[in-house]
Structure 1
Amino acid sequence: MDHDQNFKNLIVDYPKQALEFFAADEVCPLDDTVKITPVRQEQLKNRLGDRFRELDVPLLVEWPNGHREALLFAVEEHTDPRRFSIHRIAHYCLDLAEMFDTRRVVPVVIFLNQNQCPGELRIGGDRVDYLEFRYLACHLKQRIAEDYRQSDNIIARLNLP
């Protein structure tokens, strides 16, 4: 089993802790009533011959008490910044939004190494940007391990030096 698969398994096995660590700005705190469900990784194709897109770990977060509307998280892990494509991440999010008929999709990109990847994508004409896309970035190498040494979050403890 390769590193990427181990990383995906860790997120699927501990989704609450993963979101609290990688996407804290969007989800914290998550209480024990929240329901987190991994959704299909392979996105549906429009035509049989089309290439399929496969997400690392898409997670559906639901609050049974109705405290918040459900959120979809498109969690992507990147080891090699040269292979990163903000366009591909935007496609994933648009596919999820269409599949679940929602606008509540949060792209989370976990960078294992230092990088200079674009943080946003703007598509438009001379006067107006018609599509703007950003993602929540988690740069593991920029996190301070000491801040998490006493944490009860297993994801934080396993992912920092």
Structure 2
Amino acid sequence: MITTHQKKQNQVMNPHDHNFKNLFLDFPKEALAWLFPEAEQNWGQVINVEFVRQEPKKHSLSDKSLELDMPILFHFEHQQLLLWLVEFQEDKGKFSIYKLLRYTTDLMEAYPQALVIPTVLFTDEKRWRKSVLQHLHTQLNDRLFLHFEYVFHKLFDLNARDYYNINNPVVKILLPKMRYKKEERIDVIRQAYTGLYQLVSSGLFDKYVDFIDTYAGIGELEQQELYNEIVQHKDTAMLSEYIRNKGIEQGIEQGIIQKAKKDIIDILRLRFGKVPHKIVETINRTDDLEILDSYFKQVVQINGIDQLRFF
């Protein structure tokens, strides 16, 4: 949800991989439909989903990089078993195709009746000068000894605007991790909010709008701009009403007020050193944004703290 400044200050975020694991735990079918659509095209609808909790075998005591892997076992209506091995990588430098191969063969041994499909989702938001290794191949003349590849996805290679009309909650949640122009940023986040609101329950919306906020890095001023965008669009009328009912509009304003107070006091300390306690108290008691704005203009112009005039 669009959170207040104070809530964001106190919020303790889960590690990156746990956030993405939770996303796939809540939306396994939707994730599969988007990232590996061939499954349902070939084997029909998913009739059951199991999350494989076993830890991968350690091939050395220092092997920790496989903690990001999450196997999901899908049962399809045409009797096919698919073991979908998903790895989330924010840092491509930590990815190893050789470790992924070992984990894949471990799962093939543990689930001989299932088709194991390894998939890697790279989530970093930057262009790569050099890609990662995407397949292994060993062959002598016509004799093939080994061929291994995985399903490769890089979010930042996707243009967010191309996915506005995809009715999939996983896609909506991950829109801010895709590529977009700077001037499209607020619209991308609004599309993520509104699309998610239309597709999931209020509980899941509240949960994953925080995910969107976190990975989009939304600041207090952007929160207000985003809320204004939501209010102004007819297609987001229900969402704006939901936000009002949750008291979020007030939370946004309070966050901006708290930020303004902090900025004024910080500038005073930076320019003049110690700030008298009475001045700090007066600023902190002020909740009018127009008055705080006038204080801000004063503190960047005055030559001495005694020149500050309060209303």
In 2, Cα distance between equivalents of 1:106 and 1:71: 7
- The alignment partner of 1:34 has SS state of strand
Q: Where does the alignment leave 5 or more consecutive residues of structure 2 unmatched?
A: 1-13, 177-311
Q: Structure 1 or 2: larger strand share?
A: 1
Letter in 1 for 2:17: D
Q: Determine the C-alpha separation between the residues in 2 that align with 1:151 and 1:145.
A: 11
Q: TM-score, normalised by structure 1?
A: 0.83
> For 1:46 and 1:112, how far apart are their aligned partners in 2?
26
SS in 1 for 2:153: strand
Task: Determine if the alignment matches structure 1 residue 21 to structure 2 residue 4.
Answer: no
Label 1:99 to 1:46 Cα distance change in 2 as closer, same or farther (>3 A).
farther
CA contact (8 A) 2:118 2:151 kept: yes
Cα gap change, 1:123/1:54 in structure 2, threshold over 3 Å: closer, same or farther? Answer: farther
In structure 2, what residue type is equivalent to 1:71?
A: L
Change (3 A) 1:129 1:100: same
1:26-65 to 2 correspondences below 5 Å: 26-28=39-41, 31=45, 33-44=46-57, 53-54=66-67, 56-63=69-76, 65=77
**Separation (CA, whole Å) in 2 of partners of 1:103 and 1:14:** 21
Question: 1:149: which partner in 2?
Answer: 164
The partner residue of 1:7 within 13, 20, 36 is 20
TM-score by length of 2: 0.45
Tell me the CA shift for residue 160 of structure 1: 1.8
Match of 2:175 in 1: 160
Aligned position for 1:112: 123
Give, in whole Å, the separation in 1 of the partners of 2:63 and 2:122: 25
Q: Deviations over 1:75-117 (max 9, x none)?
A: 0111111111000111111011000113611011101134410
* Counterpart AA for 2:26: D
Q: Which has the larger radius of gyration?
A: 2
Q: Is the 8 A contact 1:42 1:55 kept in 2?
A: no
Identity of aligned residues (%): 32
The one-letter code of the counterpart of 1:94 is T
- TM-align CA RMSD: 2.7
Taking the aligned partners of 1:81 and 1:45, their CA distance within structure 2 comes to: 21
Structure with the higher helix share, 1 or 2: 2
Q: Which has the higher contact order (CA 8 A, sep 6+)?
A: 1
Aligned to 2:95: 84
